[in-house]
Amino acid sequence: MKVMKKKYLMICSALLAFPAMAQDTYENARLLGNDLNGTARYVGMGGAMEALGADLSTIRTNPAGIGLFRKSGVNFSLGVVSQANANAKLDHSATKLSFDQIGFYRTMRTGQTSYVNFAFNFSKGTNFNYFLAAADQLNNASLGKQAYLKGMRGSLSNGGYSIGTGSGSNVDTYYGYIDNSSNNIARNYGQLDYLYWNTRLVDKNNPSLFGYDAANGYDFNRSQRGYIGNYDFNISGNVNDRVYLGLTLGLRTVNYKGYSEYVENLVNASNTAIGTATITDERKVKGTGFDLSAGVIFRPVEESPFRIGLSINSPSWYDLKTENYTTIQNDGQNQGKWEHGKSSEVYNYKLFTPWTFGASLGHTVGNFLALGASVSYADYSTVDNRYIDGEYVDYYGYTTETSASDKVMNNHAKRTLNGVATVKVGMECKVLPQIALRAGYNYVTPAYKKDAFKDGALNSEGSYYSSAADYTNWKGTNRMTLGVGYIGKNFSADLAYQYSATDGEFYPFTNGLAAHDASTNTTLVNEAKAVQVSNQRHQVLFTLGYRF
């Protein structure tokens, strides 16, 4: 066994210092959309209550639904969420308790049939808990080869960078510059590029020689947890019990933490094993945001309970901070200049999500059957990735940051993301005066285009601060729900079950990145096949309610 050198490479934030920047498309896509979550009644009906209303979970999807309450009350929801296909390799628990919702509504009569209502509701909009595992063979490909090919391209204008050393105390450190005549580091020279060029790609005996090692396979595992918290404040009411109006101010909190391990089994030109290269990456994202939602529900025929609902949700305007701690472990046979490396960065950025538009239908038959259907649409390709470009002090002495759109990454989002529609249908049937059975289904169309890929060669701050090369093109999501409820004079108790499933195609790095090798007049290509992955989740949700 080889004796390890007592050398350690550390990427210093000061060397890579830039103003606070934006994240890349795949990282930010986690913050788009919402899970089906809220009260057990809402979940049991598949969320198809935007026109039926009278449930706290419609406070954002159609704020006018709060206007249908005729009594004041409170709700409290707890649940259990379990990933059906989880792998505990990274100490990730497949089953977790979840505090999902709490809220109240206050009604005030303003006329014979008119009300003004106020409400507050907390809910988990997105639950990040998930474990992803993927492994596959590689053929003359590796993550190190990706960094090497970007260096071969020679300049930012060619989708790569020019490799050169620093100056002074950094004379032995390699950086990727815009071109061979520039002292400016290219924006597509990410943290993984830095680690590879200063650990594996430089010959330890002759620093003027560069090269990469291919791999014959890899093993990838990621464990992530956290949630987006929704804090919604609503005012709503109705006109003659026929037209219902609502407005909601929403405050959002983001709490995300992910940890991944990526191991490549390296081989030499004779396909003989020469060790492994391991990348570990810990990423945290925290921040706050706010948005506005407005809605209307109306009964077109006065004598009929049939209802039509319309809603609009503004973008969520997020202020976010992300930080990472990334390491490389070079466990090969005398490969590369260093055997360890680490990188850490902390920065702030902004993200503006797309507008969302909704339409819904609702109908009741007597007091024993309720039917609902709704559709919402958001064009994910219009997400606005933004970087902070300055700040100013206002009249009162408060400092405010200014930002600008990351045009390169936004163009990448247009090429990567789709417009996404969510279709919901649901029903509730009272089999006894106090017992109701519920069922629902909804489908979320794919967020990613079929040919989408994570482009680490982009001239963008999102590429510059990236510390992960993998990406998954998730397909559509199917959700099926069942529920049962007890409705007493003042108390209510509801139980719901939800099964959701999403399939995807995982890639360990940008598939098909290529560069021309002038010395051999050949084109080198780095390719990896898609690995089929899925996210299958079970949820059991229980809600207690009290009306007064």
Identify the CATH number of the domain in which residue 439 sits.
2.40.160.60
Number of other residues whose CB lies within 10 A of the CB of residue 547: 18
Examine residue 438 and state whether it is found in any structural domain, yes or no.
Answer: yes
Q: What was the pLDDT predicted at 334? A: 59
Q: How far is CA 109 from CA 55, 71, 243, 526, in A?
A: 18, 10, 15, 68
Helix (H, G, I), strand (E, B) or coil at 331: strand
CA atoms of 366 and 70, how far apart (whole Å): 18
Q: For residue 445, what are its two tokens?
A: 């169309």
CB of 293 closer than 8 Å to CB of 250: yes
Beta bridge partners of 482: 439, 497
Residue 103 lies in a domain: yes
Query: Residues with Cβ < 8 Å from 508, sequence gap 6 or more?
Result: 134, 136, 143, 218, 220, 262, 469, 470, 528
pLDDT score, position 115: 87
Nearest to 515, CA basis, from 152, 211, 196: 152
Give the pair of three-digit tokens for residue 374.
């709704």
In the prediction, which pLDDT does 90 show? 56
Q: What is the residue-wise DSSP string for 368-430?
A: TEEEEEEEEEEEGGG-EEEEEEEEEE-TTS-EEEEEEE-HHHHHHHHHHB-EEEEEEEEEEEE
The single residue listed with the structure tokens 């200049």 is 337
> Residue 491, Cβ neighbours under 10 Å: how many?
12
Strands (E), 168-272: 174-177, 214-239, 243-267
> How many independent structural domains does the chain possess?
1
Q: Which residues pair with 81 in a beta bridge?
A: 96, 539
pTM reported for the whole predicted model: 0.91
pLDDT score, position 390: 86
Summarize the chain as % helix, strand, coil (round to 5): 15, 55, 30
- Show the domain range for 291: 9-126+223-258+284-316+347-547
DSSP SS3 for 461:
helix
Tens-digit pLDDT string for the chain (548 aa): 222 232 334 333 333 333 334 578 999 999 999 999 999 999 999 999 999 999 999 999 999 999 999 999 999 999 999 998 766 565 556 788 999 999 999 999 887 778 899 999 999 999 999 999 999 999 999 999 999 999 999 999 999 999 999 888 888 889 999 999 999 999 999 999 999 999 889 887 887 788 898 999 999 999 999 999 999 999 999 988 899 999 999 999 999 999 999 999 999 888 899 899 999 999 999 999 999 999 999 999 999 999 999 999 999 999 999 999 999 998 866 567 777 888 888 888 999 999 999 999 999 999 999 999 999 999 999 999 998 888 888 778 788 888 999 999 999 999 999 999 999 999 999 999 999 999 999 999 999 999 999 998 999 888 888 899 999 999 999 999 999 999 999 999 999 999 999 999 999 999 999 998 888 889 999 999 999 999 999 999 999 999 99
Contact present, 9 and 341 (Cβ < 8 Å): yes
Residue 142, both tokens: 């590796």
* 504: three-class secondary structure by DSSP: strand
Judging by DSSP bridges, how do beta strands 522-526 and 513-517 pair with one another?
A: antiparallel
Around 486, how many Cα atoms within 13 Å sit in the side-chain half-sphere? 9
DSSP 448: B
Say how far residue 355 (Cα) sits from the centre of its chain: 17
Q: Is residue 371 part of a domain?
A: yes
229 lies in some domain: yes
Is 478 a domain residue?
yes
For residue 6, what pLDDT is reported? 29
Which secondary-structure segment (H or E) carries 483? strand 471-487
- Distance, CA of 105 to CA of 114 (rounded, Å): 16
Residue showing tokens 């945290």: 284
Residue 470, in any domain of the structure: yes
**Position 122 in a domain:** yes
> How far from chain centre, in Å, is Cα 498?
21
Cβ(36)–Cβ(479) below 8 Å: yes
Among residues 145, 390, 127, the alpha carbon closest in space to that of 267 is found at: 145
Q: What span, in angstroms and rounded, lies between the C-alpha atoms of 350 and 23? A: 9
CA distance 127 to 254: 10
